[in-house]
Amino acid sequence: MTAPRGESIPGALTRLGFDEPRRALSLLDDPVLERVIQRRDAIEDDGLARALAETADPDQALLGLVRLMESVCRGPAPALRTRVERVLVEGGVGRRRILEVLGASLALADHLVAHPEHVLDLVSAEPLPVESRGELLTAAALTAPEGATAGEDALRVEYRRQLLGIAALDLEAEHPTDQLPRTAAALADLAQGALAAAHALAVHRAGERAQRCRLAVIAMGKTGGRELNYISDVDVIFAVEPADGVPEEEALAIGADLATSLMRICSANTGAGTLWQVDPALRPEGKQGPLVRTVASHRAYYERWAKTWEFQALLKARPVAGDPEVGAAYVEAMSPFVWTAAGRENFVSDAQAMRRRVEDHVPAAEADRQIKLGKGGLRDVEFSVQLLQLVHGRADDNLRSATTIPALEALSRGGYVGREDAAALATAYRFLRTLEHRIQLQRMRRTHLMPTAPADLRRLGRALGHRTDPATEILARWRSTAREVRRLHERIFYRPLLAAVAKLSEGEVRLTPEAAQARLTALGFRDPKGAFNHLRALSEGVSRRAAIQRQLLPAMLGWFADEADPDAGLLAFRRVSDELGTTHWYLKMLRDEGRAAERLAHTLGRSRFAAELLEQAPDCVQFLGDGSGLRPRTREEVESRMRAAAGRQGSLDQAVQAARTIRRAELFRLAVADLEGSLTTTDVGHALSDLAGGLIQVALEQVVRAHVAEQGRDLVTRLLVVGMGRLGGREAGYASDADVLFVHDPVPGADDQQAQDDALDVVRELLRVLGLPGPDPRLEIDADLRPEGKNGPLVRSLASYAAYYERWSLVWEAQALVRARPVAGDPELADRFLALIDPIRWPREGLTAAQVREIRTLKARMESERLPRGADRKTHFKLGHGGLSDVEWCAQLVQLRHAHAHPELRTTSTVEALTAARALGLVAATDAEELLEAWTMTSRLRNAGMLWRGRSLESLPSDVRDAEGVARVLRRPPGSGHLLDEEYRRLTRHARTAYERVFFEQ
């Protein structure tokens, strides 16, 4: 073939794949290639150029070839030049190997330039058994001429000579990912041989003394697993036994010297460079521990002290050099430990940490380029496989392989993971490892990062067979593989559980109930048997529901396991599902609507409050599917829905129950949104207060309507419900009562007594219907803040309030009125009531000294008297030091004194009042901040406690599990529950001193 007419030679070279054609052309013209190039007239069609074009990096390969040939020509043996040139001219395997290696590795090219004679070894490379590798390396090291590092140098040169062969076989493979296991094993063998040679050299140098101890080198990590990279630390452990008649102490000392010498022989940087670091850090006690131990001492350590990850490391232990008997004794002594790890005490929490490590992923440095540690990286695959091996390997010794791919195959054969999933994971693993190999090969550097330079990406893409746009294609393929790994993790870990309980042979998975329970325990379920039964109930059978749930549950199990109480989450899900399973939209929503299932799982595992609401009203689940479903509804929306629902009912009781059903649904909506973190404390307070107000309004309308119907006449009075306390402030919590005052005002001309009777009837009836057992958590109505308290009439007319306040008003009543806000009833009456109380709560002259003193005394008395028996004065949310009432009383005192002069202070909200007081300079900025911070934190904790427990929480939890649950509701990281205590005490201590300054003006 010739170049198309008009195409220049550089153009042709570009088409072949050269990046810098002019440079390539001048290199091809180099005199050293003179006898190699056959077609000088059409250089681009020469066999050499075409062969170069096949390599991963033609430019690099060509430059390397010119350097190599310069070295060959310079060399002392003219025969070598002739032989090399013949290989290059003849083409075929030999030429391909040379060019592939030069194109894929600068480091190996450098080695060839330094040792041109090795090019022939490269050409004739073939797989070598591990023994031969060791013998060749040992011979090189031991026969080196005398000299300080001559042995090391010879070892390094021989090591690289063999490395060339491994690289040649690797690079010429048609499917590099298929070749990967063989390459990784060959690299491990080479490392093993080097360790053996280093051991022999160390023994040789130690002379007679070395005979007094028997040292075995145990390979760990990837060397032990026989799946090494091109360049990596080689993990080892040393075991030592004394030779006959030698005291143990002495043998240990000699063994430590030998081991140190061995490590130095491998890692020292000599004239010929270095092999790799030998890392003994996986030994018992890590870096603190002695370098060598006897087998018995190793055993004693693992019997007593070792941690789960250390057992995980032992999985790969394999004797590779030194005394074979000691090595065998070591393995025999250790292997039982690996497989009892799953029975150890901390195994569950360690395993969870491992799982979380895989799923949450601690972002490593340069996470977006990490092939090994990034999301969906090699470490994920390895950990998933090892975790499953540890969990199930105790009962099944077929799983005990030290090598990732065979282990995965064994898990698949044993039915612990699906066959297709295992195959897909193995493919992904091989691809990622091949990427890693190709990247490391270039410079023989220990790196696990995707390169960024376009030339590097291009070489990488071409090495893996991408030709059109190699850089882009390889990045895309890498990313999609990482995604696949993440997805597969879930499939291999959770899906088999379902197959086990449902007794289905899904992809040949056959987990026994025992194996399934072992895995559930490792996930953090405290009652694996119960969980197993729930799973079975959810997934057994041939119904559409069971089929869909089998699809959903694997992922949901992972989400449950993230929460503080996975068992409760799963149980609640079962209840909801029993209730709704046959409803057509339920399963469809979970299956089809993205986040719905995930939201449901997290909600149920995190909040008993939400779970209980849902169990009573499973249909609330609908909100989860709808993106806008979690927006809290406005007061108007809630009220109109309640009104509509109530209007459709026959009786009063039914009507109010219907309104309360709406409230239950809204509570669930709020809880879910709150748990997701999409609401502020203020949002929650507003929504809960509006919900209470709406219910009271609709219930009041219904009661009045029923009253009218029953009496056959209109009411002779108009009614108003005024919210007080947190309801008045629009700052209600999940567990708040509704503090209210009832007000009525007779219509013109009505009889006062009859009006009072009507009002009382309606209010009593209102309290009755709201107090009935109902679908929602009962809204407790508390009217004790009314004039004269419990002794006063439940409802008063506006005129009566006016008369009362004129004559009797006490300062605490004025204070309570600070937070009065009409929440239901007649709007016009509301205005008149506010006109009546405004001068009382915002008195023109502020407070007198005597009134201030009275409020302070009252507060002090309340603090000492109202605290429940056994409650801790420091940690009680409402009455404790720096708690809610400290902050609220500060705000109210400032409002009583200054709101008349400063309209900004005329608010029922504690937060708004303090913010305004701060802006006005009435409260120092730092004091206001500390008060608000403590108030917000306490309100959040109280809400979180209710969400977590389903019962109100009055003070800081004294139970560690409760603390953990509350912390998780606040979306703190797992295991941070015990930190709440310290934080709460600090915030409230600050608030308490601020309170002392603000409230007592000290």
Partner 1 sequence: MDRQQEFVLRTIEERDIRFVRLWFTDVLGTLKSVAVAPAELEGAFAEGIGFDGSVIEGFARVYEADMLAKPDPSTFQILPWRGDRPGTARMFCDITLPDGAPSMADPRNVLQRMLGRAADLGFTFYVHPEIEFFLLEKEPKPGRTPTPVDQAGYFDHVPHGTGHDFRRAAITMLESMGISVEFSHHEGAPGQNEIDLRYADALTMADNIMTFRTVVKEVALEQDLYATFMPKPFADHPGSGMHTHVSLFEGDRNAFHEPGAPYQLSKVGRQFIAGILHHGAEITAVTNQWVNSYKRLWGGGEAPAHLTWGHNNRSAMVRVPMYKPNKGNSTRVEVRTIDPACNPYLAFAVLLGAGLKGIEEGYELPPETEDDVWGLTEVERKAMGIKALPSSLHRAIQAMESSELMADVLGEHTFEFFLRNKRREWDDYRAQVTPFELDRYLRL
Say whether residue 764 binds partner 1 (CB under 8 A): no
The closest alpha carbon to 866, from 886, 887, 880, 851, belongs to 880
Alpha helix ranges (H) inside 772-909: 798-808, 811-817, 827-841, 849-865, 884-898
284 lies in the binding site for partner 1 (CB under 8 A):
yes
Query: Residues 6 or more apart from 774 whose CB is under 8 A from it?
Result: 656, 657, 660
Q: Minimal distance in Å, beta carbon 994 to partner 1?
A: 12
| Region from 297-305, 717-725, 808-816, 855-863 binding partner 1, contact rule CB under 8 A | 297-305
Distance of closest approach, residue 970 Cβ to partner 1, in angstroms: 18
* Contact by Cβ (8 Å): 892, 908: no
Please state the closest distance from residue 285 (CB atom) to partner 1, in A.
5
- Tokens 């040292």 belong to residue: 215
Q: Binding to partner 1 by residue 989, rule CB under 8 A?
A: yes
**Closest approach of partner 1 to the CB of residue 192, in Å:** 29
d(CA 56, CA 99): 9
- Choose which of 5, 287, 304, 869 interacts with partner 1 (CB under 8 A): 304
Instruction: Establish if 305 lies at the interface with partner 1 (CB under 8 A).
Output: yes
User: C-beta of 876: minimal distance to partner 1 in Å?
Assistant: 14
Structure tokens at 659: 């309104």
Mark the segment that binds partner 1 (CB under 8 A) among 113-121, 284-292, 515-523, 808-816. Answer: 284-292
| Selected binder of partner 1 within 11, 47, 75, 289 (CB under 8 A) | 289
> Is 680 or 958 the residue whose CB approaches partner 1 more closely?
958
φ and ψ at residue 366, rounded to 5 degrees = 55, 40
Nearer to partner 1 by Cβ, of 264 and 978: the residue is 978
- Taking the least distance from each CB to partner 1, the nearer of 11 and 974 is 974
Question: Which of 446, 469, 959, 1000 touches partner 1 (CB under 8 A)?
Answer: 959
Nearer to partner 1, 290 or 846 (CB): 290
Kindly tell me the sign of the dihedral angle through the C-alpha atoms of 54, 57, 60, 64: negative
Specify the residue, 878 or 989, whose C-beta has the smaller distance to partner 1: 989
Helix (H) / strand (E) element for 796: namely strand 795-797
Q: Smaller CB distance to partner 1: residue 459 or 881?
A: 881
Span interacting with partner 1, options 64-72, 404-412, 518-526, 977-985, rule CB under 8 A? 977-985
- Is residue 301 part of the contact set for partner 1 (CB under 8 A)? yes
Contact flag: residue 38 with partner 1 (CB under 8 A): no
Return the residues of window 187-246 that contact partner 1 according to CB under 8 A: none
Amino acid identity for residue 584 in this structure: H
Residue 582 touches partner 1, criterion: CB under 8 A: no
State the angle between helix axes of 470-493 and 454-463 in degrees (0 to 180), rounded to the nearest 10: 60
Q: How far apart are CA 143 and CA 152, in angstroms?
A: 11
993 lies in the site for partner 1, by CB under 8 A: yes
Partners of 388 in beta bridges:
none
Candidate ranges 251-259, 364-372, 927-935, 980-988; the one touching partner 1 (CB under 8 A): 980-988
Binding partner 1 (rule: CB under 8 A), the pick from 182, 874, 902, 972 is: 874
First to last CA, the chain: 99
Single out the residue of 244, 249, 982, 1001 in contact with partner 1 (rule: CB under 8 A). Answer: 982
Question: Is residue 180 within 8 Å of 434, Cβ to Cβ?
Answer: yes
CB 618 within 8 A of CB 572: no
Q: Which amino acid is at 970?
A: L
Residue with tokens 């791919």: 405
Q: Which residues pair with 236 in a beta bridge?
A: 219
Considering the rule CB under 8 A, would residue 974 count as an interface residue with partner 1? no
Stretch that binds partner 1, among 180-188, 400-408, 715-723, 981-989 (CB under 8 A): 981-989
* 445 versus 978: smaller Cβ distance to partner 1: 978
5 binds partner 1 (CB under 8 A): no
290 binds partner 1, rule: CB under 8 A? yes
- Residue 526 found at the interface with partner 1 (CB under 8 A): no
Least distance between partner 1 and beta carbon 979 (Å): 9
Residue 525 CB, nearest distance to partner 1 (Å)? 18
Minimum Å distance from CB 238 to partner 1? Answer: 16
Residues contacting residue 142 through CB under 8 Å, at least 6 positions apart: 151, 197, 200, 201, 204
Total residues at interface with partner 1 (CB under 8 A): 22
Distances (CA, A) of 695 to 301, 643, 658, 666: 66, 9, 10, 11
Q: How far is the CB of 259 from partner 1 (least distance, A)?
A: 17
Residue 281 is a binding residue for partner 1 (CB under 8 A): no
Site membership for partner 1, residue 978 (CB under 8 A): yes
Residues 6+ apart with CB under 8 A from 696: 721, 738, 740, 766, 770, 779, 781, 823, 824
Rounded Cα distance between 733 and 603, Å, is 19
Q: Dihedral of CA 340/342/347/353: which sign?
A: positive
Contacting residue, 79, 269, 287, 288, with partner 1 by CB under 8 A: 288
CA distance 842 to 216: 88
Using CB under 8 A as the binding rule, whether residue 958 contacts partner 1 is answered as yes
CB of 326 to partner 1, least distance (A): 21
Among 872, 925, 951, 1000, contact with partner 1 (rule: CB under 8 A): 872
Q: Give the span between the Cα atoms of 819 and 880, in whole angstroms.
A: 21
Quick one: tokens of 881?
Answer: 């030091």
According to the binding rule CB under 8 A, does residue 300 interact with partner 1?
Answer: yes
Using the contact rule CB under 8 A, the part of the chain among 237-245, 282-290, 427-435, 715-723 near partner 1 is 282-290
**873 close to 862: Cβ distance less than 8 angstroms:** no
Question: CA–CA separation, 360 vs 347, rounded Å?
Answer: 19
Q: How many residues are given for the chain?
A: 1002
In three-state secondary structure terms, 78 is helix
Type of residue at 381: V
Comparison of 290 and 513: residue with beta carbon closer to partner 1 = 290
Residue 963 interacts with partner 1 (CB under 8 A): yes or no? yes
Pairing relation of β-strands 717-723 and 292-293? unpaired
User: Which pairing describes strands 738-746 and 781-782: parallel, antiparallel, or unpaired?
Assistant: parallel
Rounded to whole angstroms, the Cα distance separating 212 from 317 reads 25
The kind and range of the H/E element at 781 are strand 781-782
Tokens of 67: 């350097």
- Of 807, 801, 785, the C-alpha closest to 838 is 801
**Contact call for residue 981 and partner 1 (CB under 8 A):** yes
Closest separation in Å from C-beta 977 to partner 1 = 9
Among 178, 285, 757, 784, binds partner 1 (CB under 8 A): 285
State which residue, 878 or 985, has the beta carbon closest to partner 1. 985
Question: Alpha-carbon distance 902 to 946, whole Å?
Answer: 37
Which neighbouring-strand residues pair with 318?
Answer: 219
| 564 lines the binding site for partner 1 (CB under 8 A) | no
Q: Closer CB to partner 1, residue 293 or residue 660?
A: 293
Site stretch for partner 1 (CB under 8 A), options 368-376, 414-422, 788-796, 955-963: 955-963
The least CB distance from residue 963 to partner 1, in Å, is: 7
Using CB under 8 A as the binding rule, whether residue 986 contacts partner 1 is answered as yes
> Binding string, 455-474, against partner 1, x = CB under 8 A?
--------------------
| Listed residue (158, 277, 263) closest to 202, CA to CA | 263
960 binds partner 1 (CB under 8 A): yes
CB closer to partner 1, 420 vs 996: 996
The site for partner 1 (CB under 8 A) is made up of 284-285, 288-290, 300-301, 304-305, 872, 874, 958-960, 963, 978, 981-982, 985-986, 989, 993
